[in-house]
Amino acid sequence: MTQTTLRDIETRQDGGPRPAGLGPLGWLRWGWRQLTSMRTALILLFLLAVAAAPGSYLPQRGVDPGKVTAYFQQHKELAPILDRLSLFDVYSAPWFAAIYLLLFISLAGCVIPRLGQHTRALRARPPAAPRNLGRLPYHATFTVTDAPADVLAAARATLRGYRADGTETTVAAEKGYARETGNLLFHFALLALLLAVGAGAAFGYRGNVLLNEGSGFANTVAAYDRYIPGSLVGAGDLQPFSAHLEDFAATYVTEGRTRGQASSFTAKLRYRESPESPERPYDLRVNHPLEVDGARLYLLGHGYAPVFKVTDGNGEVPWDGPVPFLPRDQITYTSEGVVKAPDAGPDQLAFLGYFFPTSGKTADGKLTSTFPAPDDPTVTLLSFKGDLGLDAGVPQSVYAIEAKGLTKIGKSTTLRPGETLELPDGAGSITFTGYREWASLQITSDPGRTWALVAAVLAIAGLLPALTVRRRRVWVRARAGDGGRTVVEVGGLTKADGDGFAPEFDEITEGLRARLRAAPPSVGDKE
């Protein structure tokens, strides 16, 4: 198909001819034209797709750092190589950034000049009729008895909605500017979206906190268990709100194949927008984040924090309070955690524990949990004494103990609420006094998100006319023919070939004929 279309005339399809013997400026200009050509954009677009793929297969630090560590352990040789290629941080990798920055520049370089062209086109008059309308892809010819001037007047009336212009013998009409308007809107919206996403990442931050029922936090860097600031966020930029967890409640499916699956979670919060503001309540649920001063609080997870009272060998109480345990599986909520009493004397004490919300027995008699709700809470504890190794200054997980300086004392013991385990040799005792639930919250602040949404909505708004409106030109020429008749030629041209302009073109032609037939011949018109 070698049909000429508007597009061929107007769209620069490739970078143009390579300059011969041009200076550095010429080469620069040539390079720029290459970069901003649609073919380059197309290739960059595909590269971006290819580049995004490995991140869906390999674990990503930004998504799940734990899995990356596991991958390193499983693939000792391969992992460091992949890491050198940033394959565990694909979406923040330099090569990924390079592709989308180039695409961004290509896009900007492509659409900004087009914006100028289009504003000019919006004000321009339709181009004059080609000499031979018969060579256009859409055309029709017929003769009428009306005078040429009447035909042209009728043509203008028929082409209502078109921008029409004309000479003494022709009418030139054009329609469908919305296509290019939409197209530009779409591509500019994409640019805006990229900017908004980038700005949000730079000026926003993200963090997690774990709250036991009855405890709270103030929004400071120190309060976070995990804190990931954007590159342009300082510690002083955090919004000064605070929140307090009063109660956490979960409901579960009790029967059937999905028994134990959670069906709802609610965290009852009280929060203040700033230390001076009044306190307000909020029920935090999945899909219902709390928005405070531009930051958002999400319910991320939950678990149990058994409450222990530890008494040491000296009769003092170095620990009395809840200890968050981490769920080991979501269906039974069997949870694991450690109780550390570094202030215990004469020896430091530590306990490794399991919490079973609804205790039961497995087929081979082992203790297990049969349901995630705390219907029959039980803990098992393994006790240690010695040196916890906390003084060495090496940071330790609060969910694990360093076994080096510790000796196990006694046997693994099961406790129900209120029961006490006496440690051997007067080392002290530990009482399982009850449990609380905890909720983990994610706090995010992304100042770009509203802009990203606006840009995305504009992109769709632009996409619709860009894809559905057809840019078309119609010319009508009327000239005196044989026997006092007027020969009417109609020609049409669209931006893409074979895009279904035919019915509309027919309608125009037929509309024109019908109009001429209906109108009484003007005065002086010979039969």
Partner 1 sequence: MTPSAYVAAAPAAQVNSGLAQLSDDLMIIAILVYAVALLAFTIELGYGRRRRTVAEAAEEAAPEFAGVAAAGRTTAAAGESATSAVAGAGAVTETGAAATGAPGASAASGRHGPADDAAGATHRAGAVGLAATVLGFLVHGGMVATRGLAVDRWPWGNMYEFVAAITLGAVGTFLVVAFRYRARYLGAFVLIPVLLALAINVRYLYVDAGPLVPALHSYWIAIHVTAAIIATGAFTVSGASTVMYLMADRAERKRAAGEAVKGVLGRLPGAALLDRLAHRTVVFGFPLWTFAVIAGAIWADEAWGRYWGWDPKEVWSFITWVVYAGYLHSRATAGWRGRKAAIVSLIGFACLLFNFFAVNILFSGLHSYGGV
Residue number, nearest CB to ligand HEM:
110
Residue type, 41: A
Q: Give me the residue label for tokens 């990203």.
A: 452
Helix (H, G, I), strand (E, B), or coil: what is residue 131? coil
* Site track for ligand HEM across 36-75, x = CB under 6 A: x-x--x---x------------------------------
Kindly tell me which of 45 and 331 has the beta carbon lying closer to ligand HEM: 45
Q: 10 Å Cβ neighbour count for 76?
A: 8
Of 40-48, 115-123, 383-391, 425-433, the segment contacting partner 1 by CB under 8 A is 40-48
Contact residue for partner 1 among 79, 111, 140, 155 (CB under 8 A): 140
Determine if 117 is a binding residue for partner 1 (CB under 8 A): no
Is residue 41 a contact point for partner 1 (CB under 8 A)?
A: yes
| Closest CA relative to residue 373, chosen from 355, 386, 398 | 355
Joined together, the tokens standing for residue 373 give: 């709700």
106 is in the binding site of which of partner 1, ligand HEM, none (Cβ under 5 to 8 A by kind)?
A: ligand HEM
Tell me the three-class secondary structure of 202-246, residue by residue: HHCEEEEEEEECCEEEECCHHHCCEEEECCCCCHHHCCCCEEEEE
Write the binding mask 454 to 493 for ligand HEM: x where contact by CB under 6 A, - elsewhere: ------------xx--------------------------
Q: Which does 36 bind (CB under 5 to 8 A by kind): ligand HEM, partner 1, none?
A: ligand HEM
SS (H, E, C) 308-336: EEEEECCCCCCEEEECCCEECCCCCCCEE
> Among 15, 109, 130, 137, which residue interacts with partner 1 (rule: CB under 8 A)?
137
Entry field: residues in the chain = 527
- 59-78: contacts with partner 1 (CB under 8 A): 60, 62-63
CB of 192 to partner 1, least distance (A): 14
Q: Which of residues 178-207 bind partner 1 (CB under 8 A)?
A: 197, 206
Please, are residues 85 and 55 in contact by the beta-carbon 8 Å criterion? Answer: no
Residue from the set 60, 181, 183, 242 that interacts with ligand HEM by CB under 6 A: 183
- Interface with ligand HEM (CB under 6 A), residue from 150, 153, 187, 310: 187
Rounded least distance, CB 30 to ligand HEM, Å: 16
Residue 497 near partner 1 by CB under 8 A: yes
**CB atoms inside a 10 Å sphere around CB 422:** 13
- Which of 87, 144, 152, 155 touches partner 1 (CB under 8 A)? 144
Query: For residues 380-409, which are near partner 1 according to CB under 8 A?
Result: none
The answer to whether 353 touches 322, Cβ cutoff 8 Å, is no
Q: Write out the binding residues for ligand HEM, residues 105-164 only, by CB under 6 A.
A: 106-107, 110
| Euclidean distance between CA atoms 25 and 33, whole angstroms | 12
**Which strand (E) or helix (H) includes residue 152?**
helix 148-158
CA distance 280 to 437: 21
Dump strand ranges (E) for 416-465: 420-422, 428-445
d(CA 320, CA 307): 7
Q: Is 56 in the site for partner 1 (CB under 8 A)?
A: yes
How many chain residues bind ligand HEM (CB under 6 A)? 15
Least CB distance from residue 402 to partner 1, whole Å?
30
The reply to whether 192 sits near ligand HEM by the rule CB under 6 A is no
Nearer to ligand HEM, 36 or 378 (CB): 36
Residues 76-115 that bind ligand HEM (CB under 6 A): 103, 106-107, 110
Specify the residue, 42 or 514, whose C-beta has the smaller distance to ligand HEM.
42
Give the up-direction half-sphere exposure of residue 310: CA atoms within 13 A in the CB hemisphere. 26
Q: Please write down the long-range contacts of 271-274, taking CB distance under 8 Å and 24 or more positions apart.
A: 271/241, 271/242, 271/243, 271/244, 271/297, 272/241, 272/242, 272/243, 273/239, 273/241, 274/240, 274/241
Give the nearest distance from C-beta 342 to partner 1 in angstroms.
Answer: 29
Which x/- pattern over 240-279 shows residues binding partner 1 (rule: CB under 8 A)?
-------xxxxxxxxxxxx--xxxxx--------------
Residue 48 CB, nearest distance to ligand HEM (Å)? 7
**DSSP β-bridge partners for residue 13:** none
Buried b (16+ CB within 10 A) or exposed e, 307-337: bbebbbbeeeebbeebbbbbbeeebbbbbeb
In 388-481, where do the E strands start and end? Answer: 406-415, 420-422, 428-445, 472-480
Structure tokens at 493: 């041209």
Shortest distance, CB of residue 390 to partner 1, whole angstroms? 32
Rounded CA separation 37/118 (Å): 17
Residue numbers 466-495 binding partner 1 by CB under 8 A: 467-468, 485, 489, 492
User: What are residue 506's phi and psi, to 5 degrees?
Assistant: -60, -45
Q: Which of 278/520 has CB closer to partner 1? A: 520
Q: Does 221 sit near ligand HEM (CB under 6 A)? A: no
- Out of partner 1, ligand HEM, none, what residue 453 binds, judged by CB under 5 to 8 A for its kind, is partner 1
**Smallest distance, ligand HEM to C-beta of residue 466, A:** 5
Contact footprint for ligand HEM (CB under 6 A): 7, 11, 36, 38, 41, 45, 103, 106-107, 110, 183, 187, 190, 466-467
